[in-house]
Amino acid sequence: MKTGSSLRRKVGWNALSFGYVQFVTVAVQIIQVPFFIHTWGVKLYGEWLVLTGVPQLLVVLDFGMGQAAGNRAMMRAAAGNRDGVLESLQTAFAFTLCTASLVMLAAILQYPLLSWKDILKISEIEAGTANIVMLCMFGYLCLNLLSSTLTACFKAVDRTPLGVFLIASKRVVDILISISVLLMGFGPSEVAASLAVGQAISTVVIAVILWSISPYPVLGLARATRQELSRTWRPSLASMGIPVAQAITLQGGVQAVNLFGSPALVVIYSMTRTLVRPIIQAGMAVSHAMMPEVSRLYASGDQETAVAFVRKTSRLIQTSALLVYVCLAGVGPYVSDAWSRGSVMIPTWAFLLIGLHAVVNVFWYVPASLLMATNRHLRIGIAYSISSAATLFTWLCLGEYVNALVAGGLLLLIPELCVALTLKRSRS
């Protein structure tokens, strides 16, 4: 049984690493946006967001296998089951590797057949350039699919902070590459190709580091089994539901705003989400920091400590989220004006509506750590993905009658409310 100080210390280190992840995620947008707008202009940058958003819709294609397998591996490691750890991790690695290979094959086959310029109705980016960008970003996506499995491996060998730090640092590499290529005066195809190459190099470096510190071959294929895949499938679907919903709301929202609005509105929509993103990122950082330790506590039979710790932490983070939201609502529009050097001014009402989903997310995501750490969150995953898909479908049907930014805000908010109600019912 872990003492209170030991638990807080481990969660604290995990929180620092996951906090770094969320900081980098926000920094990517905050730092890159001025460079893109200044170099390319608002319209071309908006079309870049629309084009690169398509591959990101497929980020869910690891089907939650990395997180589900990681949870199983951590619980098996806590129970001293070394063979079980290898079986879980190598099964997840084999599955993700096959999935990434199939996606890349499909991306290569579609290259000469589709015109993404016509499909997405973009005007600033030429047809040939659009297809090159799409191919490169599919390659970027395939390499990124391996990240969840690599993170699971670091967790299983009790090196969570190091693994999370290394995976997040790939995004730092993205920032440096993008800014460097933009400053050299290159266009979308060169940026996309450079990002794909940087992702490949970073992934290899992280795999080598993992191999050198792991006490056993977590990245092998010899212990992968169909039986373990079958056992992991149900919790993996639960884990997949959350990124599916996020892909629908985040990337689907971008495509819908472009369809019913304009590339300029896409920039406003994306910038607003970025400004309120720290609220969600803080909640995610704390939640993911608690999950490895909650998994180990449950495996060792100390459920009461896990429940009490998560509840106390949840109340603190929820109160903080409300305060930050109120503060951001006052300064957000002025920050956007300064951030874009006067090119973009976000209306206060849009900031309030689009930002509200971030607060609601914290109110369910942090308490749900108990369920996600023990692979018992299938109902949450289903509710999140179905409500997101239903909201987007409704928008597509009624989009001509609704302001694009209002619809975008509701697309973000409604699924969060549905999951919060689902979690409340499951606990009552």
- Per-residue pLDDT for the chain (428 aa), expressed as one digit of tens each? 455 566 677 777 777 777 777 677 777 767 787 888 889 988 898 889 888 888 876 766 677 777 777 778 877 877 778 888 889 888 988 888 898 899 899 999 988 888 888 888 888 899 999 999 999 999 998 888 888 888 888 888 878 788 888 988 888 898 899 999 999 999 999 999 999 999 999 999 999 999 888 887 777 888 888 888 888 877 777 677 777 788 788 778 888 888 888 888 888 888 888 888 888 888 888 888 888 778 778 877 778 888 888 888 899 999 999 999 988 888 877 887 777 777 777 888 888 898 899 999 999 999 998 888 877 787 888 899 899 999 999 999 998 889 998 999 999 999 999 999 998 887 65
Residue 259: count other Cβ atoms within 10 Å of its Cβ: 17
The tokens for 176 are 């440096």
Helix residue ranges, H only, 111-219: 116-120, 127-145, 147-156, 160-183, 188-213
| Cα–Cα distance, 314 to 321 (Å, whole number) | 10
Comparing CA positions, the residue from 249, 128, 271, 96 lying closest to residue 192 is 128
- Cα separation, 183 vs 73, whole angstroms: 44
Sole residue written with tokens 């989903």: 357
Max CA pair span of the chain: 61
> What is the C-alpha separation between 197 and 202, in angstroms, rounded?
9
| Those residues with Cβ within 8 angstroms of residue 116's Cβ, 6 or more apart along the chain or in another chain | 51, 54, 122, 127, 130, 131, 133, 134
User: Cα angle vertex 396, ends 392, 397, to 5°?
Assistant: 120
Query: CA-to-CA distance for 143 and 202, rounded, in angstroms?
Result: 10
Residues of the domain holding 352: 4-427
Alpha-carbon distance of 235 to 375, in angstroms, equals 5
Residue 89 amino acid letter:
L
User: b vs e for 156-172, b when ≥16 Cβ sit within 10 Å of the residue's Cβ?
Assistant: bbebbbbbbbbbbbbbe
Burial class (CB in 10 A: 0-12, 13-18, 19+), 267: buried
Euclidean distance between CA atoms 51 and 48, whole angstroms: 5
Q: How many domains does the chain have?
A: 1
Whole-number Å distance between alpha carbons of 53 and 255: 8
d(CA 221, CA 97): 10
pTM score? 0.67
Distance, in Å, from the CA atom of 105 to the CA atom of 220, rounded to the nearest integer, reads 23
- Percent helix, strand, coil in the chain, to 5, is 85, 0, 15
56: helix, strand or coil: helix
